[in-house]
Amino acid sequence: MRIALLITLSSFELCILCMAQDSVRIIDNITIKSKIKYHETIAPQTLKGETLEKVNAHTVADALRFMSGVQLKDYGGIGGLKTVNLRSLGSQHVGIHYDGIELGNAQNGVIDLGQFSLDNIEEVSVYQGQRSAIMQTASDFTNAGSIYIRTKSQLGKETSRNNDGKANNDHFVKSKLQLGASNLFRFSTLYEQHLSEKLVMSSNLEVLSTNGKYNFNYRRRNHDGSIAYDTTATRKNGDVQAIRAEINLYGNISDGHWQTKAYTYHSNRGIPGAIVNNVWRRGERQKDDNSFVQGSWQKDINRIYTLQALAKYANYRTHYLNKDTTQLMIDNTYRQQEAYLGLVHVFEIAPWWSVSLSDDFRWNYLDANMPLFVHPTRWSILSSAATAMDLNKLQCQGSIVFSHHLDKTRTGTSRKSYDNFTPALFLSYRPYLWLQFSCFAKKSYRMPTFNDLYYTNIGNTLLKPESAIQYDLGIRFDSKAIDGFTNRNTIAEDKHGNMNGSFEAHIYHNSVHDKIVAYPKGQQFRWTMLNLGRVHIDGIDMQGHASWKILNEMILSSRLQYTYQRARDVTDQTTSYYGDQIPYTPWHSGSMTMMLDYRAWDFAYNFVYTGERYCQQENILYNHLEPWYTSDLHLAWRHSYRGILCKATVEVNNLFDQQYDVIINYPMPGRNLNVTLLCEF
């Protein structure tokens, strides 16, 4: 313990030194993790700060390509839907937390990560299993995996983290303009102001506009090698106009802090749709009006007891419109509301032992203008108990969540309730500072969504929750610990030492039971939902980071990530796809990033690889999809003038102009270029 503290202090000093050298480029996260309630038994994968800027990522979805164990589904282009799943468990098992509170979608469980621009994001972390710190809400303990998105706040961070009330600046402004292919225009600005010594206001505005057009090519060869067809067309109806505004207040109180956020997002977009024979454009539109307010408050009541309270109200309105008279005309509006209240009690019984008790209350309501709509409401109550122990080299965390969900529909006569237990156990053993072994086991579930249960003619009210069981074994080496740095950030960000690096590998087995799948009804309204599916998943995740100081001012750093997955459908032995790899899950995928920093210049090369996979359940020739891989380049130049930092970036995406579909019939953009200008002071 003492060693760890010492090391943290030394890195703290170094950071102060850095700040003195360059007042603008502050190295963040100087958290002295002495308290066990914040301890994470197993560290997440994190992308943050400058690294996040260098991986040619503009949305949270793009950034997640560089995390192992993550599969991204991308329907192409800036406006195309982008969802992720962790370790093949299905996207509805992933909890996505925005500044500490989960984003909900009770309607269909889908969160479009393409809608979350990275312009105001400081850090994206991926946790397999759960965040293994016990100071968290009951909801945080329930998902099979979680993604935490933390927004940028230069001053707010200083205020809430340093806890000393001293401000480096009294305001901070950052503006960014991006222009690129498909008539992309993206402008964002962050303005932060100290309202008082203990209160910071941070506001953020972003405007996005694109016509979404790009060229794509479909080419087939005859078996003798000659060209059968070679067609280039333009992707249409992928335009997006979006505006996002956010305002945050960060405050300090004695022995605690609080934070509030108001968020609003409005967009109007085309849904580009599938490219099929004779159909090259479609006319569906989607309008989103999503707003929420949330707040959290935390205080150390006494030396033992800490209390945290969280609350949120969200109102999401989605409007689908299809005015094409040759098809089923659609003019549907869905309105979702969510209210959330969370309480976390943490007791630090001893320096090595703490216990937490959390309660969540959530209310969801869905309204729609569809005929025969049942207007479902869901009340959820979750209670968790967790404990963490730090026995010097051995750390452990155990948690259990009891959840109760109650559904009621306006037309339905019966109420339906669901009770679930979510137990989890996390262990880590660290024989040396540079070596850590870890393991976890967890059972979790996902609730059937309102669409699964109540969608007119499709929903099935008899559905049970879908459950997932996970077992994981991991190992981690960290050369920084040898050199005397415990800061767990990506190495690229701290530029000390001649070479350092880390490597982490996990081997896991997951299984999904009662998987909710669409099943044909054999009649006009073709599908219904059934708890019919069982998947066994075996996989390996590996990632490594390393950085070298090549010359005096030249640093080369790299990240490498590889995922192997075998996800077998073991639902029914009589089907033709028994034992086959589930759709859109590659056996092999990975990514690589090389970053070179020299004085005012940054250069990065990013490579993303997704191996062969199948687009349907049967692993047959007709369903086979070729691998795809893209190379992206990033070049940035920065210049400081009278305390104003300016940065210009040029990016080339898909350098070799590979023509590929992530989802079949949804072509992805070829080579494209964008330019970004950033100023901050």
Partner 1 sequence: MRVLKILLCLLLLSSSCREDEYVTYMTNEDTGVPIGESGFVGLYILNEGNMGANRCTLDYLDLSGKDSTIHYYRNIYAERNPGTVKELGDVGNDIGIYGTRLWMVVNCSNKVEVCEAASAKRIGQVNIDNCRYLAFDSGFAYVSSYAGPVQVSENCPLGRVYKVDTLSLQKVDSVVVGYQPEEMAIEDGKLYVANSGGYRVPTYDNRVSVIDLETFQVISEIEVDINMHRLQADRYGQLWVSTRGNYYDVNPALYCISNDKVSARLDLTISAMTIVGDSLYYIGTSFNYLAGGYSKSFGIVDVKRCTTIATSIFEAPEIKAITLPYGIIMNPLDKSFYLLDAKNYVSSGELLHFDAEGNYLWRVTTGDIPSRGVFL
Question: In sequence order, what are the residues at sequence separation of 6 or more whose Cβ sits closer than 8 angstroms to the Cβ of residue 6?
Answer: none
Least separation, in Å, of the C-beta of 210 and partner 1? Answer: 24
Nearer to partner 1, 352 or 503 (CB): 503
Beta strand ranges found along 222-350 (DSSP E)? 227-235, 240-253, 256-270, 285-300, 305-322, 330-350
Closest CA to 67 of 115, 132, 113: 113
Stretch in the footprint of partner 1 (CB under 8 A) among 146-154, 185-193, 240-248, 558-566: 558-566
Long-range contacts at 407-414 (CB < 8 A, ≥ 24 apart):
407/376, 407/377, 407/378, 407/453, 408/376, 408/377, 408/378, 409/374, 409/375, 409/376, 409/377, 409/454, 410/374, 410/375, 410/376, 411/374, 411/375, 412/374, 412/461
Least separation, in Å, of the C-beta of 562 and partner 1? Answer: 5
Site for partner 1 in 366-385 (CB under 8 A): 371-372
Nearer to partner 1, 334 or 609 (CB): 609
The residue from 44, 109, 448, 590 that contacts partner 1 (CB under 8 A) is 590
Stretch in the footprint of partner 1 (CB under 8 A) among 79-87, 167-175, 635-643, 657-665: 657-665
Nearest-Å Rg of the Cα atoms of the chain is 25
- Binding residue count for partner 1, defined by CB under 8 A: 76
Least separation, in Å, of the C-beta of 217 and partner 1? Answer: 11
Least separation, in Å, of the C-beta of 229 and partner 1? Answer: 5
Stretch in the footprint of partner 1 (CB under 8 A) among 82-90, 141-149, 381-389, 499-507: 499-507
21 binds partner 1 (CB under 8 A): no
Nearer to partner 1, 98 or 564 (CB): 564
Site for partner 1 in 329-348 (CB under 8 A): 329, 331
501 binds partner 1 (CB under 8 A): yes
Angle at CA 286, nearest 5°, toward 280 and 288? 155
CA–CA separation, 239 and 233 (whole Å): 16
Nearer to partner 1, 75 or 148 (CB): 75
522 binds partner 1 (CB under 8 A): yes
Stretch in the footprint of partner 1 (CB under 8 A) among 168-176, 255-263, 389-397, 588-596: 588-596
CB atoms within 10 A of CB 570: 14
Least separation, in Å, of the C-beta of 624 and partner 1? Answer: 10
Q: What one-character DSSP code corresponds to residue 585?
A: -
The residue from 293, 499, 633, 645 that contacts partner 1 (CB under 8 A) is 499
- According to DSSP, the residues that pair with 261 across neighbouring strands are 248, 294
CA–CA separation, 120 and 456 (whole Å): 39
User: Could you tell me if 576 and 568 are in contact, meaning their C-beta atoms sit under 8 angstroms apart?
Assistant: no
658 binds partner 1 (CB under 8 A): yes
Stretch in the footprint of partner 1 (CB under 8 A) among 83-91, 238-246, 310-318, 609-617: 609-617
Site for partner 1 in 441-480 (CB under 8 A): 456-457, 460-462, 477
Least separation, in Å, of the C-beta of 53 and partner 1? Answer: 23
Site for partner 1 in 215-254 (CB under 8 A): 218-223, 228-229, 231
CB atoms within 10 A of CB 390: 19
Stretch in the footprint of partner 1 (CB under 8 A) among 177-185, 427-435, 522-530, 672-680: 522-530
413 binds partner 1 (CB under 8 A): no
The β-bridge relationship of strands 256-270 and 199-210 is unpaired
Stretch in the footprint of partner 1 (CB under 8 A) among 22-30, 246-254, 390-398, 585-593: 585-593
Question: In sequence order, what are the residues at sequence separation of 6 or more whose Cβ sits closer than 8 angstroms to the Cβ of residue 309?
Answer: 296, 297, 298, 341, 342, 343, 344
327 binds partner 1 (CB under 8 A): yes
Backbone φ and ψ of 180, nearest 5°: -165, -170
628 binds partner 1 (CB under 8 A): yes
Stretch in the footprint of partner 1 (CB under 8 A) among 183-191, 253-261, 442-450, 582-590: 582-590
CA–CA separation, 85 and 92 (whole Å): 8
Q: Is the dihedral of CA 430, 436, 442, 448 positive or negative?
A: positive
Least separation, in Å, of the C-beta of 557 and partner 1? Answer: 11
Nearer to partner 1, 219 or 410 (CB): 219
